[in-house]
Amino acid sequence: MPRKSMQVLTDSMFYILMALSKGEMCGQDIAACISGLTESRMEIGPATLYTILSKFLKEGLIEETAVSGRKRTYRLTGYGKQVYLQEKERLALCLEDAERMESYEYREENPAMSLI
């Protein structure tokens, strides 16, 4: 079954929305914010960044607020904030599932991963 657009975000998409959840930013500021927040664990290059920003503009998750030469400033729309919060909740549930899985003991007599 094909996924709906923006149903599950890539890491890069999620971090871009996270950066913009703090306010208006240009592309360079978004990349710097993500790099700083993740202590350089995630670096988003210009091609990836601007491809995602273009997709977000098309899908209505962000809007341009200013254009000065080549510099463009973006902010989340109401829909973009909703998508960000939904993905944040989905990821939190994934982590809860992982924690719950680690707390289960497997029955030795059932190798098919029957959980108690």
What tens digit of pLDDT does each residue of 15-26 get? 999 999 999 999
CA 14, 18, 53, 30 torsion: positive or negative?
A: negative
pLDDT for 43: 95
pLDDT for 38: 96
CA-based max dimension of the chain: 68
What tens digit of pLDDT does each residue of 31-71 get? 999 999 999 999 999 999 999 999 999 999 999 999 999 99
Q: Check: CATH 1.10.10.10 for 11-89?
A: yes
Average pLDDT over the chain reads 87
The encoded tokens of residue 23 equal 């306010």
pLDDT for 115: 53
Under 8 Å CB-to-CB from 22, ≥6 apart: which residues?
A: 33
Read off φ and ψ for residue 20, nearest 5 degrees: -70, -15
User: Bigger pLDDT: 97 or 58?
Assistant: 58
Q: Where are any strands of DSSP class E within 1-116?
A: 25-26, 62-68, 71-76
| Res 110 pLDDT > 50 | no
Read off φ and ψ for residue 27, nearest 5 degrees: -55, -45
pLDDT for 32: 97
Degrees to nearest 5, angle at CA 35 with 7 and 88: 30
| Res 1 pLDDT > 50 | no
